[in-house]
Amino acid sequence: MRATADAGTAPHDLPSVSETAFKTAMRALASTVCVITSRHSGEANGMTATAVSSVAADPPTVLVAVNRDNRSHALIRDGACFALNILCSDQHELALQFATRALQPFATVAFSEGVTGCPLIDGCGTVLECALTSSFDVATHTIFIGRVVASRGSGGSPLLYWDGQFGTVR
């Protein structure tokens, strides 16, 4: 049975589902796997993420959601830029590597430096470099909005994440 608000209850006063129920439901979403890279004051980092979305085409704008406990958070905030490295279907090892929070995440990864100074991972299907335009906090995360200032791409089949597994569409 579904709980509904009575005439005197505002929707924002309704209780949230449990964390477990939320995570179970979110496993039903298939998402493209990205590595968000950032750099500030000589320090670079990368983090695997699926919480990425386009926002607008004019101007080209995307958003990423980053946990405030992640080392990338301060680099994006203070460096005012980030890059979305959209992984190809054969790059699941990169997704796993950048999910580990290694102290030197680029030690064994081929990359170049983009116009923003952020690392751009070689071999990705698409890369979008972004200048930070705004941000706002929501619960444990910050949503960073970035204007796309450069892009490159070869296409390729993207790496997907669904129900705890990597996959592809082709």
CATH class of the domain comprising 18-159: mainly beta
Sheet holding 141-153, edge to edge: 43-49, 34-40, 81-86, 126-138, 141-153, 60-67, 52-57
Q: List strand residue ranges (DSSP E) for the chain, in order.
A: 31-32, 34-40, 43-49, 52-57, 60-67, 81-86, 111-113, 119-121, 126-138, 141-153, 160-162, 165-167
Identify the band that residue 40 occupies on the pLDDT scale cut at 50, 70 and 90: very high
Give the tens place of pLDDT for each residue, 142-157: 999 999 999 998 778 9
In tens, the pLDDT along 79-131 reads 999 999 999 999 999 999 999 988 899 999 999 999 999 999 999 989 999 99
Residue 50 has pLDDT above 60, yes or no: yes
